[in-house]
Structure 1
Amino acid sequence: MKKLLPLLLFLLIPGFLSAKNYTVIDTTKVSFYYDYTFVKDTTNMTELRHDDMVLQVGSRFARFSHNFQVELDSACYIYRDYTFEERYKYIKDVFTLQGPSKYSFYTLYKDYPRKREYSMDFYINKNNIRISEPMVQGWNIEENQDTTIMGHSCSLATCHYAGRDYRAWYTLDIPISMGPYKFDGLPGLVMRVEDTKKQHVFQLYKIEKRKRKMFYVEHDKEIKANPEDLCGIFRNNIQKRYREITGGKKVQFDDPSLNSRLAIVINSYNNFIERY
């Protein structure tokens, strides 16, 4: 698999650096870093993957994405008027960071461009999918308050969202009604959230007070969709890529074993966080 990583990254670089329109929508006041631990393959429940996610909170808006995407957008904004080759020359060091997995290849905006609405930009197979949906979360507040996370006393809340049951621990010590991914709307910051089968877990591990620009990134070509459509697009893309690899029509390596190994990797992404 290690031999595949440089090739996969090289194939993704044009997408990372493609034409985009950057709008500065806010200034980040505080950033909350979460370790996102998940099971990507339901046929191998013991193999856990990790992604480094960050919630940027400003005065008016918030943004949630992979830390790699935050650093890349900041660099691309600085060199936005340069050519593709020049841009890559100046920001290539960003690619030494661990990039997002297929499940974390998105940017989620909260309250922007419309209040009480999520806008989600998801990158799938060279396509930018734009999703908008209301910020609605039906939480049930539990009575117990016996959990401490990073020195903060936390309360428990539960909800059902997009096909899974979740438990969330939030703290009143940080009166920010937000959390990782779409888990918002509680009286305080969500410190940890997990589905009841612990296949998708977000755990806060760092708080950073650092001012930096918060960007809204709009691509020249976007496909409008809803959350249910996204799950279908995700499944169809995996099936398409698998057929291309196993059929040998579009993708072929000199080493035949790489084809079979890549096919296994592609087919293993079958446990997206949302299920419709």
Structure 2
Amino acid sequence: MKKITILLSLMLPVLLNAAYKPTLSPVDTVQYLATYKYDYQEDSTSALYKGNAYMCLQIGNRLCRFAARSRITTDSIHVALKNTDSNLRNSSVQKAFVNDFASTYFARYSIFSGLNVKSIDFYEGTYKPYHFYEETCFNWNFVADSDTTIAGYLCKKALTSYRGRNFEAWYTLEIPFSKGPFKFNGLPGLIVKIKDTKEEHVFELSSFKKVNYESLIYTVDYKKSNLPLTEIEADDYFKLKRNIQLERLGIFGNPDIKLDPEKLDEVSQKILRRNNQIDKY
């Protein structure tokens, strides 16, 4: 069985005065850019709480990166200002990072993959030391006589399942890249739209273009950033991720932390209703 290698970081987020200061290295030059709108339902028990983010698939000569558009912008600012005054750099990068962190709760990751291979590395900035695990690739079932037009492209339909959800995908042979949003890949053309059958997570292509200006794909240099890696089973990782979320609630119960009761309740409820990640756990 083919496998996908997933690498996850559970890193303490920038919440107060710390600056976003990883060591970034360019790994490829962007040739094409696909932008997706990502709509998601935060709470599995209520359709009242929804969010969205614009996500980008950078396609290079050898590698691809999928991340929030705001994350890619943050990384570019970080690199562009690396030789400037440290106070200016930290202030600019911190502001961009905090805006990114606040606006894309369900999209705080970067996914890297080889252009012509199905293996991927998955990085997610959350709360603890870095972890990695292996995960099986997608098995697709093709739907006959399903041609339709989405975002101006003639598309065909395929079905798959992933971690407790069933997904419907539409891909186009007009863009011959076997890639798509999030971890989804392995179809004969670019995925234009994909959604779970409950429509709680929906990615749809909003634009695809050839990049005619210099644009680089960056990744974190983990050795220079002094970030350790620990192997963990996939199911254990998702349990850990949920436990970390609940630990945050415990922090608010600390009598040494003074918070307005109404504000405390608001933050606690927000944490509890963010229970509907695309990876069910």
By how many angstroms is 1:116 displaced?
A: 3.8
Q: CA RMSD in A?
A: 2.6
Unaligned runs of at least 5 residues, structure 1: 1-8
TM-score by length of 2: 0.83
Residue of structure 2 in register with 1:57 after alignment? 59
By how many angstroms is 1:162 displaced?
A: 1.6
Paired residues for 1:20-169 under 5 Å: 20-81=22-83, 85-91=87-93, 94=96, 99=101, 100-111=103-114, 116-125=118-127, 127=128, 129-131=130-132, 133=134, 136-169=137-170
Q: Describe the SS at the equivalent of 1:142.
A: strand
Give, in whole Å, the separation in 2 of the partners of 1:121 and 1:43.
28
C-alpha contact 2:29 2:215 (8 A) present in aligned 1: yes
For residue 215 of structure 2, the aligned residue among 208, 212, 216 is: 212
Residue of structure 1 in register with 2:235 after alignment? 228
Paired residues for 1:190-201 under 5 Å: 190-201=191-202
Residue of structure 2 in register with 1:5 after alignment? none
Cα 1:65–1:130 shift into 2, 3 Å = farther
Cα 1:193–1:13 shift into 2, 3 Å = farther
Q: Describe the SS at the equivalent of 1:244.
A: helix
Residue of structure 2 in register with 1:174 after alignment? 175
Q: Deviations over 1:172-210 (max 9, x none)?
A: 111111000111010000000011111111111122332
By how many angstroms is 1:130 displaced?
A: 4.3
Count of residue correspondences = 262
Amino acid at match of 1:179: G
Structure 1 runs of 4+ with >4 Å offset: 81-84, 90-93, 95-100
Unaligned runs of at least 5 residues, structure 2: 1-12
1:256 paired with 2:261, answer: yes
Amino acid at match of 1:209: K
Identity of aligned residues (%): 27
Cα 1:90–1:161 shift into 2, 3 Å = closer
> Higher RCO, 1 or 2 (CA under 8 Å, sep at least 6)?
2
By how many angstroms is 1:129 displaced?
A: 3.1
By how many angstroms is 1:82 displaced?
A: 5.5
TM-score by length of 1: 0.85
Give, in whole Å, the separation in 2 of the partners of 1:48 and 1:202.
14
Give, in whole Å, the separation in 1 of the partners of 2:16 and 2:176.
38
